[in-house]
Amino acid sequence: MNFNSMGLEKHLKKIEELGENHIGTSSDTPLRADAFELSDIEKIALIKEDVKHIMETLGLDLTDDSLQGTPNRVAKMFVNEIFGGLHPDRRPKASTFDNKYKYGEMLVEKNITVYSTCEHHLLPIVGKAHVAYISSGQVIGLSKMNRIVDYYAKRPQVQERLTIQIVKELQKALNTEDVACVIDAKHLCVNSRGIRDIDSSTVTSEFGGKFKEAAVRREFLDYIQMGTEF
Protein backbone atom coordinates (compact mmCIF):
# COMPACT_ATOMS: atom_id res chain seq x y z
CA MET A 1 0.00 0.00 0.00
CA ASN A 2 1.55 3.34 -0.99
CA PHE A 3 1.54 6.53 1.11
CA ASN A 4 -1.37 8.12 -0.78
CA SER A 5 -3.65 5.14 -0.32
CA MET A 6 -2.69 4.90 3.35
CA GLY A 7 -3.51 8.58 3.81
CA LEU A 8 -6.85 8.15 2.08
CA GLU A 9 -7.69 5.11 4.20
CA LYS A 10 -6.91 7.02 7.42
CA HIS A 11 -9.02 9.97 6.25
CA LEU A 12 -11.99 7.75 5.40
CA LYS A 13 -11.65 5.93 8.73
CA LYS A 14 -11.72 9.26 10.59
CA ILE A 15 -14.86 10.35 8.74
CA GLU A 16 -16.52 7.00 9.49
CA GLU A 17 -15.66 7.28 13.19
CA LEU A 18 -17.18 10.76 13.35
CA GLY A 19 -20.41 9.41 11.88
CA GLU A 20 -20.50 6.41 14.20
CA ASN A 21 -19.94 8.69 17.20
CA HIS A 22 -22.89 10.84 16.15
CA ILE A 23 -20.93 14.08 15.98
CA GLY A 24 -22.81 17.30 15.26
CA THR A 25 -21.05 20.54 14.44
CA SER A 26 -23.69 23.25 14.90
CA SER A 27 -27.34 23.94 15.67
CA ASP A 28 -27.56 25.35 12.14
CA THR A 29 -27.66 23.02 9.15
CA PRO A 30 -24.24 23.27 7.44
CA LEU A 31 -24.93 24.87 4.07
CA ARG A 32 -22.57 26.43 1.54
CA ALA A 33 -23.02 30.09 0.59
CA ASP A 34 -24.04 29.06 -2.94
CA ALA A 35 -26.53 26.42 -1.78
CA PHE A 36 -29.48 27.93 -3.67
CA GLU A 37 -27.86 29.34 -6.80
CA LEU A 38 -29.07 26.35 -8.80
CA SER A 39 -32.78 25.89 -9.43
CA ASP A 40 -34.55 22.75 -8.26
CA ILE A 41 -34.75 21.57 -11.88
CA GLU A 42 -31.00 22.01 -12.32
CA LYS A 43 -30.31 20.15 -9.08
CA ILE A 44 -32.54 17.25 -10.12
CA ALA A 45 -30.74 16.95 -13.44
CA LEU A 46 -27.31 16.85 -11.76
CA ILE A 47 -28.34 14.45 -8.98
CA LYS A 48 -29.93 12.16 -11.55
CA GLU A 49 -26.57 11.72 -13.27
CA ASP A 50 -24.84 11.17 -9.91
CA VAL A 51 -27.30 8.46 -8.88
CA LYS A 52 -26.95 6.85 -12.30
CA HIS A 53 -23.18 6.79 -11.84
CA ILE A 54 -23.49 5.20 -8.38
CA MET A 55 -25.80 2.49 -9.67
CA GLU A 56 -23.61 1.76 -12.66
CA THR A 57 -20.55 1.61 -10.40
CA LEU A 58 -22.37 -1.00 -8.31
CA GLY A 59 -22.82 -3.02 -11.49
CA LEU A 60 -26.54 -2.53 -11.98
CA ASP A 61 -28.03 -2.70 -15.47
CA LEU A 62 -29.93 0.55 -15.98
CA THR A 63 -31.47 -0.69 -19.21
CA ASP A 64 -33.67 -2.97 -17.09
CA ASP A 65 -37.29 -1.75 -16.99
CA SER A 66 -37.34 -1.77 -13.19
CA LEU A 67 -34.16 0.31 -12.81
CA GLN A 68 -34.06 2.74 -15.69
CA GLY A 69 -36.31 5.32 -13.99
CA THR A 70 -34.61 5.06 -10.58
CA PRO A 71 -32.02 7.88 -10.99
CA ASN A 72 -34.74 10.38 -11.91
CA ARG A 73 -37.06 9.21 -9.12
CA VAL A 74 -34.30 9.45 -6.51
CA ALA A 75 -33.22 12.89 -7.71
CA LYS A 76 -36.78 14.25 -7.54
CA MET A 77 -37.29 12.66 -4.12
CA PHE A 78 -34.10 14.24 -2.77
CA VAL A 79 -34.90 17.76 -3.97
CA ASN A 80 -38.69 17.89 -3.62
CA GLU A 81 -39.36 15.57 -0.70
CA ILE A 82 -36.91 14.18 1.84
CA PHE A 83 -34.49 17.14 1.59
CA GLY A 84 -37.11 19.74 0.71
CA GLY A 85 -36.63 21.41 4.10
CA LEU A 86 -33.23 22.73 3.04
CA HIS A 87 -34.79 25.46 0.92
CA PRO A 88 -35.80 28.59 2.87
CA ASP A 89 -38.70 29.22 0.48
CA ARG A 90 -40.39 26.12 1.95
CA ARG A 91 -40.17 27.40 5.51
CA PRO A 92 -43.72 27.38 6.92
CA LYS A 93 -45.26 30.72 7.76
CA ALA A 94 -45.73 30.47 11.51
CA SER A 95 -48.68 32.82 11.84
CA THR A 96 -49.49 33.70 15.44
CA PHE A 97 -52.56 35.21 17.08
CA ASP A 98 -53.28 37.18 20.21
CA ASN A 99 -54.11 34.96 23.16
CA LYS A 100 -57.52 36.58 23.58
CA TYR A 101 -58.92 33.79 25.73
CA LYS A 102 -56.03 34.30 28.18
CA TYR A 103 -55.01 30.65 28.26
CA GLY A 104 -51.97 30.73 30.51
CA GLU A 105 -51.16 27.06 30.94
CA MET A 106 -48.95 24.75 28.96
CA LEU A 107 -50.01 23.69 25.47
CA VAL A 108 -48.64 20.35 24.32
CA GLU A 109 -48.72 18.89 20.82
CA LYS A 110 -47.53 15.31 21.15
CA ASN A 111 -46.87 12.37 18.86
CA ILE A 112 -45.95 14.51 15.84
CA THR A 113 -44.58 12.13 13.23
CA VAL A 114 -40.92 12.66 12.35
CA TYR A 115 -39.47 11.44 9.06
CA SER A 116 -35.90 12.62 8.68
CA THR A 117 -32.57 11.44 7.28
CA CYS A 118 -29.34 10.78 9.16
CA GLU A 119 -26.67 13.02 7.64
CA HIS A 120 -23.92 10.49 8.36
CA HIS A 121 -25.30 7.61 6.28
CA LEU A 122 -28.33 9.13 4.51
CA LEU A 123 -30.60 6.54 6.09
CA PRO A 124 -34.03 7.26 7.60
CA ILE A 125 -34.76 8.57 11.08
CA VAL A 126 -38.36 7.75 12.08
CA GLY A 127 -40.06 8.69 15.31
CA LYS A 128 -42.24 11.09 17.25
CA ALA A 129 -41.78 14.67 18.42
CA HIS A 130 -43.53 16.17 21.43
CA VAL A 131 -43.63 19.97 21.50
CA ALA A 132 -44.95 22.38 24.12
CA TYR A 133 -45.04 26.09 24.90
CA ILE A 134 -46.45 28.50 27.44
CA SER A 135 -47.95 31.60 25.84
CA SER A 136 -46.54 35.02 26.62
CA GLY A 137 -49.41 36.67 24.75
CA GLN A 138 -49.27 34.87 21.41
CA VAL A 139 -50.57 31.49 20.27
CA ILE A 140 -49.84 29.51 17.13
CA GLY A 141 -52.07 27.22 15.07
CA LEU A 142 -51.67 23.58 16.03
CA SER A 143 -50.93 22.45 12.48
CA LYS A 144 -48.12 25.02 12.26
CA MET A 145 -46.29 23.16 15.00
CA ASN A 146 -46.48 19.98 12.91
CA ARG A 147 -45.31 21.87 9.83
CA ILE A 148 -42.31 23.32 11.67
CA VAL A 149 -41.27 19.83 12.79
CA ASP A 150 -41.70 18.50 9.26
CA TYR A 151 -39.76 21.38 7.69
CA TYR A 152 -36.67 20.91 9.82
CA ALA A 153 -36.92 17.12 9.59
CA LYS A 154 -36.79 17.23 5.79
CA ARG A 155 -33.05 17.67 5.51
CA PRO A 156 -29.94 15.67 6.35
CA GLN A 157 -30.05 15.81 10.13
CA VAL A 158 -28.58 15.01 13.49
CA GLN A 159 -31.39 14.45 15.98
CA GLU A 160 -29.89 16.81 18.54
CA ARG A 161 -29.82 19.61 15.97
CA LEU A 162 -33.36 18.90 14.83
CA THR A 163 -34.62 19.19 18.41
CA ILE A 164 -32.87 22.53 18.92
CA GLN A 165 -34.04 23.94 15.57
CA ILE A 166 -37.69 23.18 16.36
CA VAL A 167 -37.45 24.95 19.71
CA LYS A 168 -35.63 27.96 18.28
CA GLU A 169 -38.19 28.38 15.49
CA LEU A 170 -41.11 28.31 17.93
CA GLN A 171 -39.36 30.65 20.35
CA LYS A 172 -38.91 33.14 17.55
CA ALA A 173 -42.48 32.79 16.27
CA LEU A 174 -44.09 33.03 19.72
CA ASN A 175 -41.68 35.60 21.15
CA THR A 176 -41.07 33.50 24.26
CA GLU A 177 -38.31 31.32 25.65
CA ASP A 178 -40.91 28.97 27.18
CA VAL A 179 -40.75 26.21 24.55
CA ALA A 180 -39.79 22.55 24.86
CA CYS A 181 -39.31 19.61 22.53
CA VAL A 182 -38.63 15.90 23.06
CA ILE A 183 -37.96 13.55 20.14
CA ASP A 184 -37.92 9.74 20.37
CA ALA A 185 -36.77 8.18 17.11
CA LYS A 186 -35.24 5.12 15.52
CA HIS A 187 -32.15 5.55 13.34
CA LEU A 188 -31.86 3.02 10.55
CA CYS A 189 -28.09 3.61 10.49
CA VAL A 190 -28.19 1.81 13.87
CA ASN A 191 -31.17 -0.48 13.30
CA SER A 192 -30.40 -1.80 9.80
CA ARG A 193 -26.59 -1.62 9.54
CA GLY A 194 -23.56 -1.56 11.80
CA ILE A 195 -24.66 -2.95 15.16
CA ARG A 196 -28.13 -3.77 13.72
CA ASP A 197 -29.93 -3.16 17.00
CA ILE A 198 -33.56 -3.09 15.88
CA ASP A 199 -34.98 -2.29 19.32
CA SER A 200 -32.99 0.79 20.32
CA SER A 201 -34.21 4.35 19.86
CA THR A 202 -32.71 7.77 20.55
CA VAL A 203 -34.31 10.37 22.81
CA THR A 204 -33.29 14.04 22.68
CA SER A 205 -34.70 17.06 24.45
CA GLU A 206 -34.43 20.84 24.48
CA PHE A 207 -35.98 22.91 27.26
CA GLY A 208 -36.24 26.69 27.19
CA GLY A 209 -37.36 29.28 29.73
CA LYS A 210 -39.79 27.95 32.34
CA PHE A 211 -39.29 24.40 31.06
CA LYS A 212 -35.86 24.40 32.71
CA GLU A 213 -37.70 24.40 36.04
CA ALA A 214 -38.04 20.87 37.38
CA ALA A 215 -41.79 21.08 38.13
CA VAL A 216 -42.70 22.51 34.71
CA ARG A 217 -40.50 20.02 32.91
CA ARG A 218 -42.07 17.18 34.92
CA GLU A 219 -45.56 18.36 33.97
CA PHE A 220 -44.61 18.34 30.28
CA LEU A 221 -43.10 14.86 30.50
CA ASP A 222 -46.20 13.60 32.32
CA TYR A 223 -48.43 14.91 29.53
CA ILE A 224 -46.34 12.99 26.99
CA GLN A 225 -46.98 9.77 28.91
CA MET A 226 -50.76 10.26 28.98
CA GLY A 227 -52.79 7.90 26.83
CA THR A 228 -54.93 9.44 24.10
CA GLU A 229 -58.38 7.92 23.64
CA PHE A 230 -60.89 8.60 20.88
Catalytic residue status for 119: yes
Nearest to 164 by CA among 185, 188, 183, 187: 183
Catalytic residue status for 181: no
Catalytic residue status for 187: yes
Nearest to 164 by CA among 28, 30, 25: 28
Which of 119, 130, 169, 206 is labelled catalytic?
A: 119
Separation between Cα atoms, residue 120 and residue 81, nearest integer Å = 19
Catalytic residue status for 22: no
Catalytic residue status for 189: yes
Helix axes 159-174, 142-153, angle to 10 degrees: 140
Which of 109, 118, 130, 169 is labelled catalytic?
A: 118
Which of 157, 169, 189, 206 is labelled catalytic?
A: 189
Which of 109, 169, 181, 187 is labelled catalytic?
A: 187
Which of 120, 165, 169, 181 is labelled catalytic?
A: 120
Which of 130, 157, 159, 181 is labelled catalytic?
A: 159
Separation between Cα atoms, residue 180 and residue 96, nearest integer Å = 18
Which of 109, 121, 157, 169 is labelled catalytic?
A: 121
Catalytic residue status for 87: no
Pair 200, 190: CB distance under 8 Å: yes
Strand-pair category, 156-157 with 106-118: parallel
* Positive or negative torsion for Cα 100, 101, 102, 103: negative
Q: Which residues are catalytic?
A: 118-121, 159, 187, 189
